[in-house]
């Protein structure tokens, strides 16, 4: 869809590339890879103990794996030393860790960047996964499974990035209400909200950073992957050494995308779709493009008492959405 408040054509929006990551339980990577291959017409190849590739689909190549680095070969110095002594012992250890993790750690499908217009094909995959027995967070209080969207940025200048970041930090409380975040995901650190001091800083009407300051200010308050909107991949793409000097984490992969981590993977709900979550992200970008309304929302944030912000923000966003 073309989000309200933007000048993009329907074709431009459908061509926009989006990477998608889906987490779930009760379906191990080998079986999940088979579902992906059957649904999207690809072929499977096991590349590690708990990792499969699905190649040659119409959307590109997918990775299906148990979402913990501890089952991956040579994931740390101690494991590499063990594998050098005995590759068999190293594999046995990883297999033990995997068997202990299967009921807690999700299986994750990582898709290639694909046109947003093709997300309906992933909704068909969600249906196939549900029919094959994949479970979301609703059945177990230990589960907190997400859907991560990685939309390509619309531009790499500060003038392109900052309004989107501002729109997100201001409207995130509305997004959380709109999605209805599960209690377990609220309690765990994976989608922590941005500190209020940071939101106040970057939404000040006089805030006009260059790229270095924008990245430095972010790192000063958000030197972690565990943010509902993780900007580290984008900032590492723009200035990798600047990010690595503060956050030494090999899981940060530089790429020109927003790593939007907030949505939940609700595979158990037949009415839930990935396209619905994409539409919510498009609303954030539409707000970023609506300069006047974005400034109005920022002014409200600075003038509203902290404990009243959710009500004020939700009222503003619903009114803005109706008018657009």
Distance CA 94, CA 66 (A): 11
What is the token pair recorded at 104?
């807690």
Distance CA 17, CA 114 (A): 5
Residue 86 lies in a domain: no
Give the number of domains in the chain.
1
How confident is the prediction along the chain (324 residues), in pLDDT tens digits per residue?
Answer: 334 444 445 556 678 999 999 999 889 899 999 999 999 999 999 988 788 999 999 899 999 998 765 555 546 555 555 455 545 555 555 555 545 455 667 889 999 999 999 999 999 999 999 999 998 888 677 788 899 999 999 999 999 999 999 999 999 999 999 999 988 888 888 899 999 999 999 999 999 999 999 999 999 999 999 999 999 999 999 999 999 999 988 889 999 999 999 999 999 999 999 999 999 999 999 999 999 999 999 999 999 998 999 999 999 999 999 988
Domain that holds residue 317: 10-67+106-323
Residue 4 lies in a domain: no
Distance CA 150, CA 61 (A): 16
Distance CA 114, CA 257 (A): 13
Residue 31 lies in a domain: yes
Residue 78 lies in a domain: no
Specify whether the CB–CB gap between 51 and 98 falls below 8 A.
no
- Its sign, for the CA torsion 120, 122, 126, 128, is positive
Residue 280 lies in a domain: yes
Residue 88 lies in a domain: no
Residue 153 lies in a domain: yes
Residue 306 lies in a domain: yes
């Amino acid at each position: 869809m073309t989000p309200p408040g933007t000048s993009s054509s329907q074709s431009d929006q459908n061509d926009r590339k989006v990477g998608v990551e889906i987490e779930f339980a009760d379906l191990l990577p080998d079986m999940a890879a088979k579902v992906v291959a059957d649904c999207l017409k690809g072929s499977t190849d096991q590349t590690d103990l708990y990792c499969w590739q699905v190649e040659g689909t119409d959307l590109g190549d997918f990775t299906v794996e148990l979402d913990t680095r501890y089952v991956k070969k040579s994931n740390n110095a101690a494991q590499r030393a063990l594998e050098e002594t005995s590759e068999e012992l190293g594999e046995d250890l990883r297999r033990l860790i995997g068997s202990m993790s299967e009921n807690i750690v999700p299986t994750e499908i990582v898709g290639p960047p694909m046109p947003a217009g093709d997300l309906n094909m992933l909704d068909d995959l969600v249906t196939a996964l549900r029919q094959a027995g994949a479970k979301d967070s609703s059945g177990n209080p230990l589960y907190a499974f997400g859907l991560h969207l990685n939309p390509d940025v619309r531009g790499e200048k500060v003038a392109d990035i900052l309004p989107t970041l501002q729109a997100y930090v201001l409207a995130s409380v509305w997004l959380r209400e709109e999605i209805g975040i599960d209690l377990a995901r609220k309690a765990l650190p994976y989608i922590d909200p941005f500190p209020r001091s940071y939101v106040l800083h970057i939404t000040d009407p006089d805030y006009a950073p260059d790229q270095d300051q924008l990245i430095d200010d972010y790192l000063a308050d958000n030197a972690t992957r565990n943010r509902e909107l993780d900007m580290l991949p984008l900032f590492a793409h723009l200035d990798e050494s600047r990010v690595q000097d503060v956050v030494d984490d090999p899981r940060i992969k530089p790429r020109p995308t927003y790593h939007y981590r907030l949505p939940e993977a609700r595979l158990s709900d037949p009415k839930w779709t990935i396209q619905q979550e994409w539409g919510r992200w498009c609303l954030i970008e539409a707000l970023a493009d609506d300069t006047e309304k974005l400034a109005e929302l920022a002014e409200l944030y600075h003038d509203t008492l902290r404990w009243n912000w959710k009500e004020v923000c939700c009222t503003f966003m619903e009114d803005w959405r109706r008018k657009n």
